[in-house]
Amino acid sequence: MLKDKVVIITGGSSGIGKALAFELGKESCKLIITGRNIDKLEQTSHELSMQGIENHYLVADSSLEYDNKRIVAEAIYHYGKIDILINNAGITMRSMFEDADIDATIRKVMDINFFGTVYLTQAALPYIKKAKGTIVGISSIAGYRGLPVRSGYSASKFAVNGFLEALRTELLHTGVNVLTACPGFTSSNIRFAAIDAHGQVSQETVRDEEKMMSSEECAMHIVKAINKRKRSIILTNEGKLTVWLNKLFPRLVDKLVYTTLAKEKNSPLKQISEIH
C-alpha cells in the first residue's frame, strides 16, 4: 500500500526518525529526510541509498517557518507530490521548572516540538489533501501525563496532541488521515540531546537505554499504524498503563510518576525526597 509514496520525515537522521526512514524504505517509499546536523544527514542518506532506498536530505531547523516551507518546496521539486508527512523532530529538557530559563528551555522546546509541527503541517497540507494522504505527529506519553523535571517537554506534547486532534476533526471529510503516535520511553538519541535549565545540551542519558523499546521496533509499529490509517497509537506496556491509570487514578499516578522519575540519575526530585 505504501509503494512509491512520497514521505517527509523531520529529524530523520537519528533515533526514531532514522528508524522510520529505513522501515518506510522497505515499503519502497521515496523519502525526504531533514535535520540540523549535515554529517548525520549525509551518513543516513548514504546508508539508505546503499540499501536501494530513494531519498533526498535537507538541512533544516524545524523551529523556523521558512525552513519548513523550504522542506515542502524540496519535496515538490523532486517528486511533485507529498503523500505522508511525519513530524518527528523534537528535543526534550531536564530541569525543575523553578530553575529553568524560560526562553532558553521551554520556549526552545515549544518552538521545535510544537511550532515545528504546526509550520510544516500547514505548508504541506494542500498537497496532503490532494493525495488524501496521512499526517503523523510523533508525540509522547508525556502528551497524556505531565512529567516532572520535563515540564516544557510535556507542555509541548500536550499541545501537539490537542493540535492534531483539532486538525483531525477539521479534515474529517477530506480523506486525510491524522495519526498521533505516542511512544513511551524509547531508546533513541533524545535524552542525549536533552537541554538543562540554561538550554545547554547534556550529552548523556539518565535512563537505562537497553531496557527500553528500540527505535526500530517503535518505527515498525508506527508504519503499521500508517498502513491501517489509525488515528492514534500508544506504545510500550508501561506507556499504555500510565495513560489508563492516569484517567482512573490521577492522584495515585502523581505519586508513582514522582517516585519513578526520582530514581533517575542525579534527579532533583531525589534530592527533594531526601530532604523531606
Phi-psi region of 14 (alpha: psi -120 to 50; beta: other; left: phi over 0): beta
What one-character-per-residue DSSP string does 167-193 give? Answer: HHHHTTTTT-EEEEEE--SEESSTTTT
> Taking the CA of residue 87 as centre, how many other CA atoms within 13 Å lie in the half-sphere pointing to its CB?
33
Specify whether 258 is catalytic: no
What would the grid cell of residue 216 be?
526500530
In angstroms, the CA 61 to CA 51 distance is 27
State which H helix or E strand residue 55 sits in: strand 55-59
Q: Which of 57, 79, 119, 153 is catalytic?
A: 153
Question: Which amino acid appears at position 134 of this protein?
Answer: T
Question: Which amino acid appears at position 116 of this protein?
Answer: G
Which residues are the active-site residues? 153
